[in-house]
Amino acid sequence: MPLVTPLDASHDPETAQLAAFFNETLGFCPNSVLTMQRRPAISKAFINLNKAVMANEGRVTSALKRMIAWVSSNATGCRYCQAHAIRAAERYGAEQEQLENIWEYRTHPAFNEAERAALDFSLAASQVPNAVNQEIQDRLHKHWNDGEIVEMLGVISLFGYLNRWNDSMGTTLEGDAIESGNQYLGKHGFEVGKHV
């Protein structure tokens, strides 16, 4: 049971209008947003930040951003965000082979060196204490420009907020997200856990 029960999607009309964004990304409005709307300024600010961070600006594709989010959420252990990130990666066109082998991104041939550098950055930046070192920085700069690195860290930071929100809240995981989590992450022990 969640710490705080989500409100109905129609509770705050402005949040509901902004949350239509999630119908594209996930196919539903997340329970996390429905809980945030107990303080509408938080839900609206979060949705606008999410839209800005996840906007496709070029080479850091929408699919890669969602895989960065998954690695970040996996590092922190948030099952809710893992399922959401892998579902959104699928909906944004991540290659099937990448989705099925995300756990092996460092060695699997479905991932190129630029993607590996981005995903290693996500893993290192999501750890406490932070593990971004000179080697990670050098690899990033070999494949990505400063603006692209800012985009990636935006995703990692956004999911740092979400990981803490959803794990602390015990946010109930939606059925479609559970299905995606089981499909792509189940072979490595994905469970809903506290997000029932």
Phi, psi of 59 (to 5 degrees): -70, -25
With respect to residue 9, please indicate whether it lies within any of the assigned structural domains: no
Going by C-beta distance under 8 Å and a sequence separation of 6 or more, which residues neighbour residue 63? Answer: 89, 92, 93, 94, 95, 98
The one-letter amino acid at 149: I
For 130-149, give the DSSP string: ----HHHHHHHHHH--HHHH
Give the DSSP letter of residue 128: S
Q: Is residue 21 one of the residues assigned to a domain?
A: no
Overall number of domains in the chain: 1
Residues of the chain with pLDDT under 70: none
**Residue 37 falls inside a structural domain:** no
Whether 68 is covered by a domain: the verdict is yes
* Omega cis (within 30) before 129: yes
Query: Is residue 103 in some structural domain?
Result: yes
Task: Note if the pTM is more than 0.75.
Answer: yes
pLDDT at residue number 116: 98
Specify the pLDDT at position 1: 86
Residue pointed to by tokens 């991104």: 105
Q: What is the pLDDT at residue 117?
A: 98
CATH for 118: 1.20.1290.10
Residue 104 in domain? yes
- How confident is the model at residue 90, as a pLDDT? 95
CA distance 176 to 173: 9
**Is residue 142 assigned to a domain?**
yes
Domain that holds residue 85: 58-195
- The pLDDT value recorded for residue 121 is 98
